[in-house]
Structure 1
Amino acid sequence: MTRGIGWFDSFRAVAPDWSVVLLGLVTQLGDVWFLGFLVGVVYWAAVPDRRDEAATVLGVTLAGLSLITGLKEVFALSRPDRVLVAVETLPETVHPLYRATATATGYGFPSGHALMSTVVYLSLAEYLSIGTRRQRYLGAAGIVTAVSFSRVALGVHYLVDVVAGVVVALVFLLLAAGLFDRYPDRRGTVGFALALGVAVLSLVPARTDPDAVLLFGTSLGAFAGWQLAVLVRDLEAGNGPIRTSRPLIARATVATLVVVGLAAVTLSYWAVPVIAGSGLLGLAAAAFVTAPVLYRSDHVGELVRESPTRSQ
């Protein structure tokens, strides 16, 4: 059974060679590096009152990465054996750009670019306050459509692949929205817990796939980092001291155990790059999630200013 629809050859016949560069640049709007950078900037730039909402965007982004990793392993369907333009027909100066933006490896179903673009841009449309809600969703839909078209036009996906990616992302977002609405005061925790849960599930079909292992460590670290961030925020609100509050004790315990565990894994399995890398990424994710909260915390600033090293 084929996943092809049959229009690619007609498009290739009329598409100019230079279009591969344009499509390659468009497809970067759905690439992991760009989406990660975009969501990271949004999270760090969030004002304290909207930190939880920004955390949910970061959480569903991590969950989406694990989701696509697991699904590709479940279906294990190859990519199309075709290209829009043969690299030999392009000027040699654009060969590196072509290989970096317009090629792909690994399994093809469903499309990771389509799934992740839908997850991220629709989440941002809900979170951001630029323009009207309708305008934001129309803009998100336009970007998702452009990215999905670029994947098919470049020949790295069938049309069925990108449609499936968008549909899966929409179902996932609807389920996630139900959880967020059920726990409106714990949206950040729910978002990172969702990321961790999907990461665990993706390990079943992916087994020892490096991406799945690395995403598990990253999601675990992000979850722990958020617990520490909320702990600091609760102390700022006067909900301490920690020893008198069970929720604060629980958060502190979870954050400490996870961070210590990730550090131990990193040091103990240094000779196994995937496992050590998973631990290291987890520590980096914990620091990334916690840092902006610590930076804006007057309580932590006072502790630093009053520490013995500062007074000497």
Structure 2
Amino acid sequence: MSRGLDWFDSFRSVAPEWSVVLLGLVTQLGDVWFLGLLVGTVYWAATPARRDGAAAVLGLTLAGLSLITGLKDVFALSRPERVLVAVEALPEAVHPLYRATATATGYGFPSGHALMTTIVYLSLAEYLSVGTRRQRYLAAAGIVTAVSFSRVALGVHYLVDVGAGVVAGLAFLALAAVLLSRVPDHRGTIGFALAVVVAVLSLVPARTNPDAVLLFGASLGAFAGWQLAALVRDLEAGAGPIRSSRSLTARATVATLVVVALGALSVTYWTAPVIAGSGLLGLAAAAFVAAPALYRSDHVGGLGGRSPVRSQ
């Protein structure tokens, strides 16, 4: 089945061999490691006043990872059996770089790079305050286009794969915008709650897919970590004591129950690496999200801005 790669042979006939390295580097802008590093840095660099918006971006990023995991298992469509340049045609010194950046495995529809770049870069365009809003969105659109093109040009996706990924990302952001606009004072909670909900839904088609299980633990832990971070923030703002406030009591209870449950998973299912790993990853995510609030990093310069997405 051809899903729209009719021009690939023509492109391959004119593309120089070195272009595969350049395209491989461009595609890293949509790789999980880079997006995670980028969003994590934004979250930690945010001032306490801006961290709620940064938390929403982080939550939407986690939700996007679960969304693409579930969608790929729903459609279960293979990747193209083509490559832009055979590895044998390249100097041996760049073989490791080629394999690390310009190859892919697993299902191909929709494109995870296209979906994730759409969610992450458009969310950051709304959150950040660098330049004008128009400039940020143009830059985000440019990155999404470049990454999507690189995936098709490398031969790891059909054109319709990246198109579907962008559309799915935009649809998810539209839904998130509606929810976030209704509860603007709890954007972080909404973002991480979305991550948990999407992670649960992705477990249905993914079944025993290790990625789906690990993302469920990470999303649950991040949600608990944010409840702890928000609890510390509210207490520092003078909202307390905990026992006299229903919202503070709820945050403390949820954070405690989730952390205990994740710890129990890690200990009880130590013979099942994926389940135990999900619990450990959840605890790590909780610590990562809560740490800035516990450390009271008021001295860190925030990147400022508005909510990650909002209704237009």
Query: So what's the TM-score if we normalise by structure 2?
Result: 0.94
Q: Quick check: 2:47–2:297 contact (8 Å CA) kept in 1?
A: no
**Which whole-Å CA distance do the structure 2 matches of 1:297 and 1:7 have between them?**
51
24-33 vs 288-297, greater mean Cα deviation: 288-297
Give the structure 1 partner of residue 306 of structure 2.
Answer: none
Amino acid of the structure 1 residue aligned with 2:15: A
Q: CA deviation at 1:5?
A: 3.6
- Aligned twin of 2:267: 267
Q: Residue in 2 aligned with 1:77?
A: 77
Deviation at 1:4, TM superposition (A): 2.3
Alignment of 1:168-247 (within 5 A): 168-247=168-247
**Matched residue SS, 2:238:** coil
Instruction: Please give the alpha-carbon distance, in whole angstroms, between the structure 2 residues aligned to 1:31 and 1:247.
Output: 37
The structure with the largest alpha-carbon Rg is 1
Structure 2 match to 1:96: 96
How many pairs does the alignment contain? 298
Name stretches of at least 5 consecutive residues in structure 1 with no aligned partner.
Answer: 299-312
Q: Distance in 2 between matches of 1:113 and 1:150?
A: 10
Which residue is equivalent to 1:305? Answer: none
Partner of 1:308: none
| Contact 2:115 2:166 survives alignment (8 Å) | yes
In the alignment, what sits opposite 2:303? none
The Cα offsets for residues 172-204 of structure 1, whole Å up to 9 and x where unpaired, read as 001100000001111110000000000000000
Contact kept in structure 2, 1:233 and 1:297, CA below 8 Å: no
Give the structure 2 partner of residue 55 of structure 1: 55
Query: 4+ residue stretches of structure 1 with deviation over 2 A?
Result: none
Contact 1:87 1:95 in 2 (8 A): yes
Instruction: Indicate conservation of the 8 Å contact 2:203/2:213, yes or no.
Output: yes
Post-superposition CA distance 1:22-62 (Å, at most 9, x none):
00000000000000000000000001111110001000000
Q: Distance in 2 between matches of 1:5 and 1:235?
A: 56
Structure with bigger helix share is 1
Amino acid at match of 1:251: R
The answer (yes or no) to whether the contact 1:213–1:278 under 8 Å persists in 2 is: yes
What percent identity do the matched residue pairs reach? 83
Deviations 1:231-261 (A, max 9, x none): 1111101111111111111111110010011
Structure with more relative contact order (C-alpha pairs < 8 Å, separation 6 or more): 2
Correspondence 1:259-298 to 2 at 5 A: 259-296=259-296
Contact 1:30–1:147 (8 Å) recurs in 2: yes
* Residue number in structure 2 paired with 1:106: 106
**Partner SS, residue 49 of structure 2:** helix
| Counterpart residue number, 2:305 | none
Match of 2:310 in 1: none
> Does 1:30 find its partner at 2:45?
no
How large is the RMSD of aligned CA atoms in angstroms? 0.9
Kindly tell me: are residues 297 and 251 of structure 1, through their superposed partners in 2, closer, same or farther at Cα, counting changes over 3 Å? farther
Q: Which runs of 5+ in 2 are unaligned?
A: 299-312
- 2:123 counterpart residue number: 123
